[in-house]
Structure 1
């Protein structure tokens, strides 16, 4: 499932993507005929995954990331599917290493923030000692 339409800009520390899939009636995250704003976390997670892929060394084997926590999540609207036009999905890498990364993310429609929060991503769960 790919929810993002395009990468608009990126560098070592951040990425900005565009999404159009929130308007699709066949969006796989819809429930009871609507797309709740909390599904925006998945949009942000996909932007983080794309960012990781863009930062990976050429020829490196892909790593599988796991979203391990979402903190400080603030939802400003009830749903995404009533926003006409593209959504802007941005993620900023706050810290991290080869195994664990902390991102701050936001979803905007035009100049309005729809949701924001922080997420941690584990890149290689088998490398973490329990």
Structure 2
């Protein structure tokens, strides 16, 4: 199994989100098919996703998207390649078990499992939980290297 623990600095150096927009604290575990990350930024008053002092549960999608980006960076590093840029294209089967995340005291655990992927599209299933309780779950499609795909289509 690849090296498991990666901290926030490692994550921030490999995903496009910087400063307080880098929401994840670390990688707990990962392999070729999945990644599990932790985060405590949902409790911070200066979380950039907060609106009217609240962090809606739907913001958990961004936590999951960042975990997917981290997974791509881990896979690229293992293959000694440059990470591919990805864009969240769609979210399906979203189930929200709570209304907001900012009132959850426990650290978030974000799991993303790569269901399929070939070429420029990857499909992940994700779960955001805290203290063993599922907060939200769903599936997300990611388009890789979208600019290159758009250039070749024209």
| TM-score (norm. length: structure 1) | 0.95
Higher relative contact order (CA 8 A, sep 6+): 1
* Partner of residue 93, structure 2: 72
Q: Quick one: which of 118, 123, 129 aligns to 2:139? A: 118
Look up the match of 1:127.
Answer: 149
Equivalence for 1:102: 123
Aligned twin of 1:89: 110
Q: Partners in 2 of 1:61 and 1:110 — Cα distance?
A: 35
Structure 2-normalised TM-score?
Answer: 0.80
Q: Shift in Å at residue 44 of structure 1?
A: 0.1
Partner-residue secondary structure (3-state), 1:105 = strand
Segments of structure 1 that go 5 or more residues without pairing to the other structure are: none
Aligned residues: 129
- Tell whether the 8 Å contact from 2:64 to 2:111 is kept in structure 1 after alignment: yes
Deviation, structure 1 residue 97: 1.7
Deviation at 1:63, TM superposition (A): 2.0
| Structure with the higher helix share, 1 or 2 | 2
SS at match of 1:26: coil
1:14 aligned onto 2:18: no
- 1:3 matched to 2:53: no
Q: Which runs of 5+ in 2 are unaligned?
A: 1-20
Which structure's residues are more often strand, by fraction? 1
RMSD over aligned Cα atoms: 1.2
Residue 31 (1) aligns with residue 15 (2)? no
